[in-house]
């Protein structure tokens, strides 16, 4: 085969692959009324499930950016105190109330809690955009973490929260760094994300930018296996560095 035919074959292969990716990311990518209403005002209602270091910090950042946030955890008094400290854009409630409240949900619980959370909130979380920041840590979470790592964290979370429009994000940046990044200290780092739903990724990306990061879509939820601590994408990296690493992943 001569060089011209090789180039033609490579181009056809590329276009075919691009079509497959585009089709995958169009699944469930329909507009939804709640988001349209909040987008018009520039504000998003965010339900935080798990208001610990990651959830509490991101909730405060988003509230200060003008979004409305509801904190929830196993300790309602903690959530009430946190909301009072954060101010007018924050409130507290149960996890069910937070999911019902939010157009977007931040899931930031220990992974061992995710099976029960998924069952308890199945009826209210379906159809919601869920930013999944929960990481399967074997030493902490046990067998469920082993299973999730074997399956891939993104696909595992999708199975545990059926019907949720999941975007894997905020999985390997320390909570202590989040306030400084949100305040624009230093160059804007990239935030690798994985999703099967293009519209959900778009919605999550706006909140990621409001937290001081530049979102970088690395692929579908199957790529979520790379968005955990200890992987090449962990830590702070520029968007360009993330894009260079992604083709080396398998």
Range of the domain at 7: 1-30
Q: Which of 128, 153, 145 is nearest to 48 (CA)?
A: 128
Contacts 24+ apart (CB under 8 A), 202-206: 203/35, 203/44, 203/103, 203/104, 203/129, 204/104, 204/129, 204/131, 204/167, 204/169, 206/44
Q: Would you tell me the crossing angle of helices 198-210 and 53-64 to the nearest 10 degrees?
A: 80
Question: Same domain for 2 and 92?
Answer: no
Question: Same domain for 7 and 24?
Answer: yes
Question: Same domain for 20 and 128?
Answer: no
> How many beta carbons lie within 10 A of that of residue 116, not counting itself?
11
Q: What is the CATH number of the domain that holds 94?
A: 3.40.50.720
Question: Same domain for 63 and 176?
Answer: yes
pLDDT of residue 201: 98
Which residues, 6 or more positions from 9, have their beta carbon under 8 angstroms from its beta carbon?
1
pLDDT of residue 41: 57
d(CA 218, CA 245): 10
pLDDT in tens, the chain (250 residues): 444 443 344 334 333 333 333 333 333 333 334 444 444 557 999 999 999 999 999 999 999 999 999 999 999 999 999 999 999 999 999 999 999 999 999 999 999 999 999 999 999 999 999 999 999 999 999 999 999 999 999 999 999 999 999 999 999 888 999 999 999 877 899 999 999 999 999 999 999 999 999 999 999 999 999 999 999 999 999 999 999 999 999 8
pLDDT of residue 6: 35
CA distances from 245 to 101, 155, 190, 226, 233 (A): 37, 21, 12, 11, 7
Overall number of domains in the chain: 2
Question: Same domain for 47 and 139?
Answer: yes
Question: Same domain for 23 and 103?
Answer: no
List the Cα angle 190/193/198 in 5-degree steps.
Answer: 125
Question: Same domain for 25 and 51?
Answer: no
Question: Same domain for 172 and 223?
Answer: yes
Question: Same domain for 13 and 44?
Answer: no
Question: Same domain for 12 and 94?
Answer: no
Contacts 24+ apart (CB under 8 A), 245-248: 246/192, 246/218, 246/219
Question: Same domain for 212 and 234?
Answer: yes
CA distances from 83 to 48, 208, 212 (A): 11, 21, 21
Question: Same domain for 39 and 26?
Answer: no
């Amino acid at each position: 085969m001569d060089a011209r035919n090789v180039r033609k074959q490579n181009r056809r292969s590329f276009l075919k692959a691009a079509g497959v990716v585009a089709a995958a990311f169009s699944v469930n990518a329909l507009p939804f009324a709640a988001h349209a209403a909040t987008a018009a005002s520039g504000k998003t209602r965010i339900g935080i499930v798990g208001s610990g270091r990651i959830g509490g910090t991101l909730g405060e950042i988003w509230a200060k950016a003008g979004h409305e946030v509801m904190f929830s955890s196993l300790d309602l008094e903690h959530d009430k105190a946190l909301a009072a400290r954060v101010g007018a854009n924050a409130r507290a409630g149960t996890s069910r109330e937070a999911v019902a409240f939010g157009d977007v949900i931040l899931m930031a619980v220990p992974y061992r809690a995710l099976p029960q959370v998924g069952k308890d909130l199945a009826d209210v979380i379906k159809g919601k955009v869920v930013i999944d920041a929960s990481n399967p840590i074997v030493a902490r979470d046990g067998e469920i973490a082993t299973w999730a790592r074997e399956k891939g964290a993104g696909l595992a979370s999708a199975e545990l929260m059926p019907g949720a429009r999941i975007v894997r994000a905020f999985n390997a940046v320390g909570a202590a760094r989040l306030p400084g990044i949100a305040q624009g200290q230093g160059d804007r780092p990239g935030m690798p994300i994985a999703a099967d739903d293009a519209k959900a990724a778009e919605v999550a990306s706006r909140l990621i930018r409001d937290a001081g990061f530049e979102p970088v879509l690395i692929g579908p939820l199957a790529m979520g296996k790379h968005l955990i601590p200890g992987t090449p994408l962990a830590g702070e990296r520029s968007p360009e560095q993330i894009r260079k690493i992604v083709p080396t992943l398998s």
